[in-house]
Amino acid sequence: MANYELEEGERVGRFVVLRDVDGRLHAVSPTSVGAICEDDDGAVLLLPGGRMIRVERPLGQVLRWLEVGLQK
């Protein structure tokens, strides 16, 4: 099987690939995200169990990746 490089924001099945500020990849189910908060350097996703993922992307971009309804 060939190596496949995952890209941030890519959907794989029911998951969205996100890269945190430390460079680690996370596959997150959009339905598991309890809240997304704007941070000084991007956004923070709050997950079950009190886990947080901090990403260096604007809140709006993260919302679009997770396909959350965004009012224009």
| % of the chain with per-residue pLDDT over 70 | 89
pLDDT score of 3: 64
pTM of the model: 0.82
pLDDT score of 1: 46
Among 53, 47, 58, 66, CA closest to 20: 53
The predicted-structure confidence for 39-69, as pLDDT tens digits, reads as follows 999 999 999 999 999 999 999 999 999 985 5
Confidence of residue 33 (pLDDT cuts 50, 70, 90): very high
